[in-house]
Amino acid sequence: MDSRAGLVVLLCLIGFTCAEVKFIDCGSATGKVATVDVKPCPTQPCQLHRGQDYSVNVTFMSNVESKTSTAVVHGIIAGAPIPFAIPNPDGCKSGIQCPMKKQMYNYVATLAVKSEYPAIKLVVKWELRDDTNSDLFCVEFPIQIV
Ligand SMILES: *[C@@H]1O[C@H](CO)[C@@H](O)[C@H](O)[C@H]1NC(C)=O
């Protein structure tokens, strides 16, 4: 565990609202992820209430220039990735100024948890693709719908 992760754990232990989620990098190719924040998410895995909107904020470094960025989201249920519609898949309208340069960005999107979703645990796989369809980032984090 690096010192930054240690600090986050410490802050969580002493009762801060802990929004920084543990994630797995599932193959970021043309970028590198620093942090993934889900708000509000006081416990881990994040418990997302049906009928509420959540914000997902991925802080990452782009190692390429790209005119576009497109988000692709899946929910992995029992090992099978199910496409997940998000309100705006255009990364350039989600906190990223395009054309993208080689620099840090905050990708900020809304995750709407619809009331008809089943109350299950699943893994969210969130990718952001560049002009060449390579993943600027690919992160996976567990959630629980309640
Ligand atoms: C996203 O996260 C970064 C790093 O934690 C933070 O600096 C930035 O203000 C956040 N943006 C939003 C809109 O929450």
Non-local CB neighbours of 112 within 8 Å, separated by 6+ positions: 53, 54, 86, 87
C-beta separation of 138 from 27 below 8 A: yes
Q: Is 59 in the pocket of ligand 1 (CB under 6 A)?
A: yes
Pocket test for ligand 1, best of 37, 53, 54 (most atoms within 8 A of CB): 37
Q: Is residue 10 part of a domain?
A: no
> Could you tell me the pLDDT band of residue 44, with boundaries at 50, 70 and 90?
confident
Mean per-residue pLDDT for 89-111? Answer: 97
Confidence (pLDDT) at 3: 61
CATH code where residue 93 lies: 2.60.40.770
Q: Is residue 7 part of a domain?
A: no
Q: Is the pLDDT of residue 10 over 60?
A: no
The proportion of the chain whose per-residue pLDDT surpasses 70, expressed as a percent, equals 88
Distance between Cα 57 and ligand 1 center (Å): 6
Q: Is 44 in the pocket of ligand 1 (CB under 6 A)?
A: no
Range of the domain at 134: 18-145
Q: Is residue 47 part of a domain?
A: yes
Confidence (pLDDT) at 7: 57
Confidence (pLDDT) at 121: 94
Q: Is residue 135 part of a domain?
A: yes
Q: Is residue 109 part of a domain?
A: yes
Overall number of domains in the chain: 1
Q: Is residue 5 part of a domain?
A: no
Q: Hey, which of 12-16, 112-116, 130-134 has the most confident mean pLDDT? A: 130-134
Q: Is residue 8 part of a domain?
A: no
Distance between Cα 35 and ligand 1 center (Å): 9
Q: Is residue 12 part of a domain?
A: no
Distance between Cα 61 and ligand 1 center (Å): 14
